[in-house]
């Protein structure tokens, strides 16, 4: 959510930003909010004047009583009663306008950074840099589901009977490799000075609407029937929600956290959800990083955070690249975002394994997260980034470490987490 002062003072800037996001249907909202805000401030001013008048009349009662002017006291009290009715009516209008303005403000996209490339959708995202040599071996790399099945590591048929499409059982050494990745990702981020957390896996609706747009919520979140709870789509939701309504001291910033969680997503409109692989699924696990910092430090942290994910995958012998998200591909709360993509030697192209975003003060405004400074309370900036999302990270690891004899080389970084196993051999 942007600062209301931008609409009060620079509507053209807000409208131009909406155009850059290719959301022209929202342009009329800017003038609507401007007019509603004028009404709100006028109403509040009237209510404040009435309160001031009431205070003066209340102060006069003591003097009138001392002077024995009881008839005048009665008239003053009657006037105060009438003012109370007027104040009550104005407060009701204030409250209605405040809710209406907030709901409309939540539809206005965040002001994007000047460095964001302008484009309509993800087809216009821009490659920034490649890390590692994208190798295509002379031998064939099988489909990841076939690799997993060759070592008795995947059972989607049973998962289909138990849970339906988009679910899976990981078994044996594949399940161990999956857990090893998660554990290594945790320790990797702890080594960077981040505090490890395991958050709640369900959150209330006021936290959901504080961390994402309504469109994202409808497309992603699973609602718990009969309760005001949603299953999280990423631990970022819980981790930012942890600070809802809080005031942190300026000297405590930055707050750097890394969190583990299962994640649950509807994947509404997703293609290939029924495919036999596990690239796009309803349930997965994730190691996330979340930072709260001063707004002026946000871009420095943004660059640090995506570089950590690059370093993580390179330590697993996985080539990656960074891809700058264009304006039309940015979620409404984001100021700037980039995807980290891993090389697929089977497909001979890159695919997304993580995303890094700075959201400016958007989430902090929605959830009222502020820092206490010498000049008053100010909103913090929030950032989030994927360290590892499985099974996509697992697919990238296996494809890039697949050997000509059908075995999988375990990267050196993971051997301690695999009980010393250096190679996973096919079972059939």
Please tell me the distance from the alpha carbon of residue 254 to that of residue 294, in angstroms, as a whole number: 7
Is there a contact between 409 and 403 (Cβ–Cβ < 8 Å)?
Answer: yes
What Rg value do the Cα atoms of the chain yield, rounded?
28
Please tell me the distance from the alpha carbon of residue 46 to that of residue 291, in angstroms, as a whole number: 42
The pLDDT value given to residue 76: 80
User: Residue 142: CB partners within 8 Å, gap ≥ 6?
Assistant: 150, 346, 402
Is there a contact between 379 and 302 (Cβ–Cβ < 8 Å)?
Answer: no
Mean pLDDT in consecutive groups of 10 residues from the start of the chain, 428 residues = 93 97 96 97 94 85 74 80 91 94 93 96 96 95 95 92 92 96 98 97 93 78 93 94 96 97 79 67 95 97 98 97 97 96 96 96 95 92 96 96 96 97 89
Burial group, residue 359, by CB count within 10 angstroms (0-12, 13-18, 19+): buried
Structure tokens at 365: 């405004």
The pLDDT value given to residue 64: 76
The pLDDT value given to residue 65: 75
Is there a contact between 344 and 318 (Cβ–Cβ < 8 Å)?
Answer: no
The pLDDT value given to residue 273: 47
Percent of residues in the chain assigned helix, strand, coil, to nearest 5: 45, 20, 30
Element (H, E) at 126: strand 126-131
Handedness of CA 301, 286, 380, 327 (dihedral sign): positive
> Domains of the chain by range and CATH?
4-105 (1.10.287.40), 122-424 (3.30.930.10)
Burial group, residue 369, by CB count within 10 angstroms (0-12, 13-18, 19+): buried
Strand, helix or coil at 290? strand
Please tell me the distance from the alpha carbon of residue 176 to that of residue 396, in angstroms, as a whole number: 16
Residues 46-83, buried b or exposed e (16+ Cβ, 10 A)?
bbeebeeebeeeeeeeeebeeeeeeeebeebeeeeeeb
The pLDDT value given to residue 421: 96
What angle in degrees, to the nearest 10, is found between the helix axes of 298-314 and 172-191?
Answer: 140
Please tell me the distance from the alpha carbon of residue 346 to that of residue 399, in angstroms, as a whole number: 7
Tens of pLDDT along 348-405?
999 999 999 999 999 999 999 999 998 889 999 999 999 999 999 999 999 999 999 9
Tens of pLDDT along 300-355?
999 999 999 999 999 999 999 999 999 999 999 999 999 999 999 999 999 999 99
Predicted structure pTM score: 0.89
Is there a contact between 344 and 319 (Cβ–Cβ < 8 Å)?
Answer: no
Residue 119 exposure: Cα atoms within 13 Å on the Cβ side: 14
Residues 269-288, buried b or exposed e (16+ Cβ, 10 A)?
eeeebeeebbebbbbbbbbb
């Amino acid at each position: 959510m942007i600062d209301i002062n931008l609409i009060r003072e620079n509507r053209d800037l807000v409208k131009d930003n909406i155009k850059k996001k290719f959301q022209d249907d929202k342009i009329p909202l800017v003038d609507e909010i401007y007019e509603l805000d004028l009404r709100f401030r006028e109403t509040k001013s009237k209510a404040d004047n009435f309160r001031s008048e009431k205070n003066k009349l209340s102060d006069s009662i003591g003097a009138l009583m001392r002077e024995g002017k009881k008839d005048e006291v009665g008239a003053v009290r009657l006037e105060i009663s009438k003012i109370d009715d007027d104040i009550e009516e104005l407060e009701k209008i204030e409250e209605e306008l405040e809710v209406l303005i907030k709901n409309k403000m939540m539809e206005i996209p965040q002001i994007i950074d000047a460095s964001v490339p302008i484009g309509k959708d993800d087809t216009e995202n821009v490659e920034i840099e490649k890390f590692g040599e994208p190798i295509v071996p002379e031998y064939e790399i099988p489909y990841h589901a076939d690799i997993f099945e060759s070592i008795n590591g995947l059972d989607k048929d049973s998962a289909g009977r138990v849970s339906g499409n988009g679910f899976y059982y990981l078994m044996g050494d594949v399940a161990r490799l999956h857990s090893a990745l998660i554990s290594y990702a945790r320790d990797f981020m702890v080594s960077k000075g981040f505090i490890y957390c395991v958050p709640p896996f369900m959150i209330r609706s006021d936290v959901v609407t504080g961390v994402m747009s309504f469109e994202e919520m409808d497309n992603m979140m699973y609602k718990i029937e009969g309760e005001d709870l949603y299953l999280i789509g990423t631990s970022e939701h819980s981790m930012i929600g942890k600070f809802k309504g809080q005031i942190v001291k300026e000297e405590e910033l930055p707050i750097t956290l890394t969190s583990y969680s299962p994640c649950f997503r509807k994947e509404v409109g997703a293609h290939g959800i029924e495919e036999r692989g596990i690239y796009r699924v309803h349930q997965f696990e994730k190691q996330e990083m979340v930072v709260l910092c001063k707004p002026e430090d946000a871009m420095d942290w943004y660059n640090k955070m995506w570089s950590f994910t690059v370093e993580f995958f390179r330590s697993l012998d996985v080539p990656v690249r960074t891809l700058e998200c264009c304006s039309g591909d940015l979620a409404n709360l984001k100021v700037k975002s980039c995807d980290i993509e891993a090389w697929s030697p089977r497909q001979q192209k890159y695919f997304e394994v993580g995303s890094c975003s700075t959201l400016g003060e958007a989430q902090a405004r929605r959830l009222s997260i502020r820092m206490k400074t010498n000049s008053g309370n100010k909103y913090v900036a929030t950032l989030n980034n994927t360290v590892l999302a499985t099974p996509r990270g697992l697919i990238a690891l296996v494809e890039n470490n697949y050997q000509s004899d059908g075995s999988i080389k375990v990267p050196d970084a993971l051997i301690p987490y695999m009980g010393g196993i250096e190679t996973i051999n096919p079972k059939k």
